[in-house]
Amino acid sequence: MNFPPLSEHDCEKASNSYLMSLMAIVVGLPLPIVNLLATFGFYLGNRKGSHFVRWHCTQALVSQFSLLFMNSAGFWWSVAILLGKKDPDNSYIAYMVTVILFNLADFIATMYSAIHTRKGNHVHWWLYGDITNRICPK
Amino acid sequence: MKIFGKIIVLIVLFISIWQMLALVPWTKTLGLEEARVSTEEKLGDLIWQQYKDRENREPALTEPAHQILSIICKANHIETENIKLHVIDDIEVNAFAMPGQSIIVNRGLLEETQDPGELAGVIAHELAHLQHNHVMKKLLREFGLSVLTSVASGRGGGQTAEVMKILGATAYDRKFEKEADLSAVEYMVAAGVSPEHLANFLYRLGKADGNQEKYLRWIRTHPDSGERAAYILDHARKQQQNIRPLLADSSWQQMKNALELEAEED
């Protein structure tokens, strides 16, 4: 994807959308909605920015949705176990390990994107980049 | 690949990783199963210490109950050695399951049962609570894991009394009671005992005079006895029954005679 020449300001803002996402992952892992709200807030704040900034804010936001569903399911399953309604079996532990792996993958991808967008490089994620192209046309 | 295809791939990838990881015996590897069993056994031992002094070891009283338990366990492929049954010198009509695979039966309940089938029904019901792990689930809901672990390790202080109260004096929730009732029906049928005895016992006790102190605990811990008797009979009708004698009449009569003697001595 081609973007018009980028200013230092644009690179910084696009990178910050991923940093916002990173902070939200750290705080929000036990509270899934925090991830989404933080990233959404940053997206709203940059709706009128350049196409490069808007695109990367959107990609950061879209990637949070899949995490929201899997983290929410994990959260409520954990609450059910703490309340004694369910037992912590192999399936539960396997689910939590899987969720942690996916969150870790998202964390690494987000850090990579934050570094590269700060340098002015475009980073197109598998699946989420395609969705962002549909949502955020030129 | 189109977006929809990639979404499907992501979902399949997530589920595949989850299911592959689920093949790992995590609870064993992390020692969770061992910790759970250990906590339950320690809890059971600690609570039993509070009842131990009131145990009635008179063979005429305890043998029939142990024999009935053994018959039910064997018929349902349950390891009898793992289940402990104790008779307690308490005139209240009550029986309850305890952590550590124990069943407590009050003398008052033995007096109240009119035939071996009724006692078999009560024992089958409490055995079902143990088999479905209702005891620990109930305690976890009431107290949470950290409190139970403290109590089990002897650091629980006054909470041991609270745990005993919850076990012996409060009802399980409706879902657990129904599950135990229906399993009890199946256990009784497998042992050749008519589940009607359990239904009759529940119905009779449910109609008991709530002002008589000895019935109070039963009524508090077994609400809706009439309704339960009805669905027990309903479930029993769906089972193929092959009724067999449970206990020799002489054993039962000996127990009743011993109970009368003990009641006179009190």
Residue of B17, B19, B30 to mutate for A, most A C-beta atoms under 10 A: B17
pLDDT digits (tens, 9 = 90+) for A4-35: 777 888 888 888 878 777 776 676 656 667 77
| Residue B10 touches chain A, beta carbons under 8 Å | yes
Residue of A86, A97, A131 to mutate for B, most B C-beta atoms under 10 A: A97
Strands (E) in chain B, as ranges, are 84-88, 95-98, 102-106
Find the CB nearest B27 among A85, A89, A130: A89
Q: Could you give the ipTM of this predicted complex? A: 0.84
Which among B119, B131, B113, B255 is positioned nearest to B193, based on CA atoms? B119
| Residue B27 touches chain A, beta carbons under 8 Å | yes
Q: Check B24 against A94: CB less than 8 A apart.
A: yes
Q: How far apart are CA B177 and CA B232, in angstroms?
A: 11
Phi, psi of B72 (to 5 degrees): -65, -45
Between strands B84-88 and B95-98, the pairing is unpaired
Phi, psi of B88 (to 5 degrees): -115, 140
pLDDT digits (tens, 9 = 90+) for A93-117: 999 999 999 988 988 998 999 899 8
Question: Is it the case that residue B225 has pLDDT exceeding 90?
Answer: no
| Residue B174 touches chain A, beta carbons under 8 Å | no
Q: Mind telling me how many Å the CA of B4 is from chain A's nearest CA?
A: 9
Q: What is the average pLDDT across A50-72?
A: 86
Question: Is it the case that residue B157 has pLDDT exceeding 70?
Answer: no
Q: Check A83 against B137: CB less than 8 A apart.
A: no
Q: Mind telling me how many Å the CA of B114 is from chain A's nearest CA?
A: 37
Find the CB nearest A126 among B6, B19, B138: B6
Q: What is the average pLDDT across B19-23?
A: 94
Is the whole model's pTM more than 0.90, yes or no? no
Question: Is it the case that residue B209 has pLDDT exceeding 70?
Answer: no
